[in-house]
Amino acid sequence: MKFGFLIIAFSLFASIALGQEVLTLQVCLDKVKSNSLQTASESGLVNSSKINRQFHWWSLLPNLSVNAGINTSFGRRLDPFTNTFASSSVNSQSFGLNSSVQLFSGFTYFYKQNTLNVTIQRDEIGLNKKLNELKIQAIGSYISLCKLSVQIQLAESRIEKHNQIQEIQRLLMKEGRMNVIDTLKSYNALLGEQDLLLNLNNESKLKMIELNFQMGLPLRTSYEIDLTSISTIEDKPKFSETFQSQLIEAELELLENQLKSKRSEILPTISLNGLVGTGFSTNNKDYLLAGTPTKSYSDQINQNLYEGIGFYLNIPLFNRGEWLKTKQLNAIQQTELANRKELANLLLDKQLLEQEQKQLNIKAQLEQCKLGAANLQMIYNKSLALYKEGRLTYTEMETALMEWQLKLIDYELLKMDFQILKLYE
């Protein structure tokens, strides 16, 4: 009796916990999608690619740099500020500002921009692929909870039937039409069902903890599940081959842009450079004054000011076969990716055909299982009636009950498997 009380208390606690909130499968998938912890790497790649594209146009701007230097030289040398030879130690300082910009570089800017755009698409496909994997895992956990819920309901129904059987047995015992061993067998079967119910409730709680982790909810969160919500979700999962084909297509486009970018390196480039600067040197003497002292710092800074501007044309003549090697390697990679894409598409078609065949098979099994369950229910009802009349043994009646219940479990699980297959349509 104590054990029976524990069963009732555990079931009551579970029902109270599960009755707090109804969680549909679509809400579950929305929570999985918003759980950023499991997609941190993929989201980081997408954000990094977007930042790279955002700052790409800055490459069109001129670069600007400033330089300053202090120098001490010894021995005979030509001073750049005086254009005269110095034969003693000379201290000098220099200051300058440089700027350069490429005016033409073989359209490399546009090829790079296309590459960055495709990189974003590829990383977004990777993120969607990861979300799809998480979605499939969450659907599996949710379906497992649904199956456990059905099994728990059927186990509770069997416990109720065993209690009804025991009431019948008490009446038969009073009338002297039944052996006491039947009551013991019935009570033993009841204990077995209670053990099974405990295990099912425990497994359901563990599966709920797993689903909470996938959704990013507190692990102790409890809720009810909605079996009817399986077939009504909008955000349906896809086969992994779908994303694999998209990723390969993006890689092919990246290869094409990389080849164009590499080809632009053999084209001439034109750049514009500009500079301005000044300096001071102890070798810069004022020969108009007695003793030819060094000109003052401010005078030298003003007098040594220089500016320059120039256009530069760079024509590559020989790159040691780099372009030819890149072209051939690129062709090999494109062929490999094209074959992988074709294989991914074939695998996707194979999955779809197998899915269709599985649906037809399970649909046929459902019809047969439904008829079998109805037939076994009639057998049990007649067996129970015969048992009441003492014309059937308890073992025969219990066998009829278990065969019916097992067929019911098969039928309910098949229905859920059919719903899972329909999710991928």
- For residue 27, pLDDT over 70 is answered with yes
pLDDT digits (tens, 9 = 90+) for 213-224: 999 999 999 999
φ, ψ of residue 266 to 5 degrees: the values are -90, 0
| Token couple for 199 | 């295990």
Per-residue pLDDT band for 103 (boundaries 50, 70, 90) equals: confident
Q: What is the sign of the dihedral through the CA atoms of 156, 157, 160 and 162?
A: negative
Please name the residue that has the structure tokens 């969160």: 221
Per-residue pLDDT band for 368 (boundaries 50, 70, 90) equals: very high
The pLDDT value recorded for residue 13 is 41
The pLDDT value recorded for residue 5 is 40
Please name the residue that has the structure tokens 């000109």: 295
The CATH number, out of the four listed (3.40.50.1000, 1.20.58.340, 1.20.1600.10, 3.40.50.300), of the domain defined by the range 2-422: 1.20.1600.10
Per-residue pLDDT band for 17 (boundaries 50, 70, 90) equals: very low
- For residue 319, pLDDT over 70 is answered with yes
φ, ψ of residue 107 to 5 degrees: the values are 65, 25
Q: In this structure, are residues 285 and 295 in contact, taking their beta carbons and an 8 Å threshold?
A: yes
- For residue 356, pLDDT over 70 is answered with yes
pLDDT digits (tens, 9 = 90+) for 252-283: 999 999 898 888 888 888 898 999 999 888 87
SS3 letters for the chain? CHHHHHHHHHHHHHHHHHCCCEECHHHHHHHHHHCHHHHHHHHHHHHHHHHHHHCHHHHHCCEEEEEEEEEEECCCEEECCCCEEECCCEEEEEEEEEEEEEEECCCHHHHHHHHHHHHHHHHHHHHHHHHHHHHHHHHHHHHHHHHHHHHHHHHHHHHHHHHHHHHHHHHHHHCCCCCHHHHHHHHHHHHHHHHHHHHHHHHHHHHHHHHHHHHCCCCCCCCEECHHHHHHCCCCCCCHHHHHHHHHHHHHHHHHHHHHHHHHCCCCEEEEEEEEEEEEECCCECCCCCCCCECCHHHHHHHCCEEEEEEEEECCCCCCCHHHHHHHHHHHHHHHHHHHHHHHHHHHHHHHHHHHHHHHHHHHHHHHHHHHHHHHHHHHHHHHHHHHCCCCCHHHHHHHHHHHHHHHHHHHHHHHHHHHHHCCC
Q: In this structure, are residues 94 and 68 in contact, taking their beta carbons and an 8 Å threshold?
A: yes
Domain boundaries, the chain: 2-422
Q: In this structure, are residues 287 and 333 in contact, taking their beta carbons and an 8 Å threshold?
A: no
The pLDDT value recorded for residue 21 is 86
Q: Between the ranges 16-25, 163-172, 237-246, 316-325, where is the mean pLDDT highest?
A: 237-246
Q: What is the sign of the dihedral through the CA atoms of 394, 395, 400 and 403?
A: positive
What's the rounded Cα separation, in Å, for the pair 151 and 196?
10
Query: Which of 29-33, 239-243, 317-321 bottoms out in mean pLDDT, i.e. has the lowest?
Result: 317-321
For residue 205, give every residue at least 6 positions away whose Cβ sits within 8 Å of its Cβ, in sequence order, or none: 14
pLDDT mean across residues, the chain = 86
The pLDDT value recorded for residue 18 is 40
Instruction: Identify the bridge partners of residue 78 per DSSP, sorted by sequence position.
Output: 85
Query: Which of 69-78, 265-274, 312-321 bottoms out in mean pLDDT, i.e. has the lowest?
Result: 69-78
- For residue 146, pLDDT over 70 is answered with yes
- Neighbouring C-beta atoms of residue 400, cutoff 10 Å: 22
pLDDT digits (tens, 9 = 90+) for 161-183: 889 888 888 888 777 777 778 78
Single out the residue of 224, 237, 26, 206 nearest to residue 137, CA to CA: 237
Please name the residue that has the structure tokens 């993929």: 42
- For residue 81, pLDDT over 70 is answered with no
Single out the residue of 405, 419, 354, 358 nearest to residue 142, CA to CA: 419
What's the rounded Cα separation, in Å, for the pair 211 and 138?
6
For residue 376, give every residue at least 6 positions away whose Cβ sits within 8 Å of its Cβ, in sequence order, or none: 400, 403, 404, 407
> Could you give the strand order of the β-sheet that contains 269-281, starting from the edge strand earlier in sequence?
63-73, 90-104, 269-281, 306-314
